[in-house]
Amino acid sequence: MNVLVKLLCSALLLVISLAPLAEPLDQIQTSRDWSVEASSARGAGIPIMVIFTAKSCGYCTQLRDQVLQPLLRQGALKNRVLIREFDIDSGGKITDFDGERIRSRIFVKRYDIYATPTVVLVDHLGRALTDPIVGFNGPEAYTEFLDHAISSAVMSLAALSPRHAANLTGN
């Protein structure tokens, strides 16, 4: 019996040590492997929100603090969109939606990013589903504009993938 208890305790400690730490509800992850994000979004039948930011961008911080993190804490974006941040100043190569390695500046140029923050809603192939949202104009107006853009992206994605239409629209 004593050996069994020790084995169970050891197994429990192993499981706990291997379990990922829970992330805060308002955590916005960054990504450099868009094929992983594409797979997750495709599996969930939701669009991907790419938030293009820069380290020195005060408006990016305001967008994150005043709009995105509160929406995440409230659960308002759950099961509607996969949110990932991309720092336009980061160099090197990234993995594109199709699994190919490309330079990060090519990724930024693809979406004509000329200012930060810019939010682009894309499908699992990286195709834009709506017009980009450029800049930040305060939390109330931005929240409303973002909600409309997400709804439009969901509907556009549903039109591209009819089998997910019922899941995306909540019917």
Does residue 49 fall inside a structural domain?
A: yes
Cα of first residue to Cα of last residue in the chain, in angstroms, is 53
pLDDT confidence of residue 33: 97
Does residue 4 fall inside a structural domain?
A: no
Query: Based on the structure, what is the number of domains in the chain?
Result: 1
pLDDT confidence of residue 6: 55
**What digits encode the pLDDT tens for the residues 139-166?**
999 999 999 999 999 999 988 876 544 4
Length of the chain: 171
pLDDT confidence of residue 168: 42
pLDDT confidence of residue 9: 46
pLDDT confidence of residue 162: 60
Name the residue range of residue 35's domain: 26-169
Q: What secondary structure letter does DSSP report for 53?
A: E
Does residue 8 fall inside a structural domain?
A: no
Copy the structure tokens of residue 131.
């017009």
* Confidence (pTM): 0.80
- Spell out, as residue ranges, where the chain has pLDDT lower than 50: 5, 7-9, 11-23, 164-171
Does residue 73 fall inside a structural domain?
A: yes
Asked if the peptide bond before residue 117 counts as cis, ω within 30 degrees of 0, the response is yes
The CATH number of residue 118's host domain is 3.40.30.10
pLDDT confidence of residue 154: 95
Copy the structure tokens of residue 154.
């969901």
> Do the Cβ atoms of 140 and 66 come closer than 8 Å?
no
Does residue 138 fall inside a structural domain?
A: yes
Cβ contacts of 65 within 8 Å, gap of 6 or more: none
Which residues face 101 on adjacent strands? 95
pLDDT confidence of residue 27: 86
